[in-house]
Amino acid sequence: MTGVLQVLLNVLDHDMSAVEAVSAPRVDFQGDVVQVEGRIPRAVSEGLERLGYRVNRRTLNYDSYFSRPQVIVAEPDGFLSGASDPRKDGGTALETETR
């Protein structure tokens, strides 16, 4: 669930494209330990530790531990764009005109 939320926030709040949103570094916290992908800056994981969280800094940059959502984004002009998380095989197929 955290992966889907992060992708949605990336699109809606951070104005990322579909590809940028699913490719962004991931954080997961569904238990006792915060899991952070290798591309998360060390300052972020160290800051979480200073706040009292236990952090597991994963070694891979595109770690398949994290969820692998797919996304389709509808632009204001009706154009659809989609992306598949690069952490696993997948793709998008859309019936839309190209720009």
Q: Which band of pLDDT confidence, cut at 50, 70 and 90, is reported for residue 31?
A: confident
The structural domains of the chain, ordered by start, are 2-84 (3.60.20.40)
Tell me the one-letter amino acid at 88.
K
In angstroms and rounded to an integer, the radius of gyration of the C-alpha atoms of the chain is 15
pLDDT for residue 17 is more than 70:
yes
Residues 6 or more apart from 69 whose CB is under 8 A from it?
Answer: 3, 4, 7, 22, 85
Strand (E) or helix (H) holding 46: helix 42-50
Strand (E) or helix (H) holding 2: helix 2-12
Average pLDDT over residues 17-44: 94
Tell me the one-letter amino acid at 58.
R
Mean pLDDT taken over the chain: 89
Q: Return the structure tokens found at 41.
A: 């800056």
Which of the two residues, 74 and 56, has the higher pLDDT score? 56
Tell me the one-letter amino acid at 11.
V
